[in-house]
Structure 1
């Protein structure tokens, strides 16, 4: 399906995370180890926050591994918070408006997974989107639909509750259409300050998702790793699959859970769909 990462912490050049790790997202675009597909070449996107607090987005339909524009900005753009996504289409068109991350105001959203038999539910889900938000939908993916349903259900006020109501709505309509397991998702969403990451599937067999260990713990384990000396204790990564094999660096997000990366202590909670 797809691979993605979310970074929050000490401002870094995008290159530091996108290209330099042994199993970077660029490497995963060709050699994914934990994804459904080994190759994720149906487009890519990067979203990052500038000094004014608003996100910029670069998206393209080509594969990430040979995109000169991505390579160029990665060497020059520095940010304390960014999303990156490589796409493997689940059936919708390979076009720029279908590439992640999706943006609405200060919010960014990206997704790995699918709404099963999306074509059966598409009309009903569209009709539930707030009319004031509807014209913001540019593409044809289930991922963007999930974002706009979450916005409709109060994402800007209550991200976990809105995502739970979105998931509950997808499952309800899916079951009405005879779809046994309607939803598969790992989702990241941010307002530019906090990052929420969700791992859930109707079948209870969700796509892989990991978060990095505390930097102060890793410094103790690996005092010779230069990167760990350069970043703050609050630096954190959330990834579809680990960027390397540094012992103790990666922890699996539990099934049916979500976490919040935020100033101060990060938190983990259980996740379950709710009625909208």
Structure 2
């Protein structure tokens, strides 16, 4: 399982999540405490927003703890909204194109979890993509393909609804093709203004997600596991929830797959 951290609020240095805390993201890359595996050494990535609509991005295949460039960038870059990720590969080789976050236009996305039977589902998922989104795919992970599928379903106009349709489509196709479905999905995504996160699993065993205020004036960070031992600060986001972080603070709503358009989508994918 991967580990990630995201922030929205007043501009802060990336190091305040990535390198400085006692249980920073770099610390979690080799000593995660709330994941199946303690080591997340299959690459890392950053996506941050500044004066331009599109995010900056830096990714590499080195373990996060061994890359001096990551520490230097995190110390120098300030941003009001950023995503950071350390990878433990489940699908896709250890290469830069498979490292999160993934970016398309002004949207960024990162994920922790897995899609069972992905080898059977890859082609139906790809079939749903139009030429623009199909050719935007650079890597081989289930995560990037889920991001592109959500974009295809309207992520830009209705973010949570499109993500719910994407998850619902994958579950439905899995049951249709294999007789079973298991999706574990804890993801963060943003258009540079609003930060969204989803925690969901078909078997009620979604990867962890925590939130805590940070940076003042409504700022929050979202993390796979707390960055320190201040247990009163961190709130665990329940399974089956979505988080929306705007300028005025954090909202949480229920999240469940949307099966509304599945008949049409399934026929198109078969």
TM-score, length of structure 1 as denominator length: 0.92
* 3-state secondary structure, aligned to 1:266: strand
Instruction: Verify: 1:233 aligned to 2:217, yes or no.
Output: yes
Q: Distance in 2 between matches of 1:70 and 1:63?
A: 10
Post-superposition CA distance 1:50-106 (Å, at most 9, x none): 212320110001100010111121121111111000000013200100000000000
Instruction: Verify: 1:252 aligned to 2:241, yes or no.
Output: no
2:98 paired residue number? 98
Note the C-alpha offset of 1:18.
0.8
Q: Distance in 2 between matches of 1:49 and 1:261?
A: 15
Count of matched residue pairs:
260
1:32 paired residue number? 32
1:121 paired residue number? 121
Q: Distance in 2 between matches of 1:170 and 1:2?
A: 20
Instruction: Verify: 1:144 aligned to 2:128, yes or no.
Output: no
Note the C-alpha offset of 1:246.
1.2
1:83 paired residue number? 83
* 3-state secondary structure, aligned to 1:177: helix
**C-alpha RMSD over aligned residues:** 1.1
Q: Distance in 2 between matches of 1:17 and 1:113?
A: 21
Q: 1:74 to 1:265 in 2, by over 3 A?
A: closer
Instruction: Verify: 1:268 aligned to 2:252, yes or no.
Output: yes
Counterparts in 2 of 1:46-195, with a 5 A limit?
46-195=46-195
Note the C-alpha offset of 1:20.
0.8
Note the C-alpha offset of 1:179.
4.9
Q: Distance in 1 between matches of 2:9 and 2:29?
A: 24
- Consecutive unaligned residues in structure 1, runs of 5 or more: 216-230
Post-superposition CA distance 1:22-66 (Å, at most 9, x none): 000000000000112100000000000121232011000110001
Q: Is 2:7–2:80's contact at 8 Å kept on the other side of the alignment?
A: yes
1:222 paired residue number? none
1:207 paired residue number? 207
TM-score, length of structure 2 as denominator length: 0.94
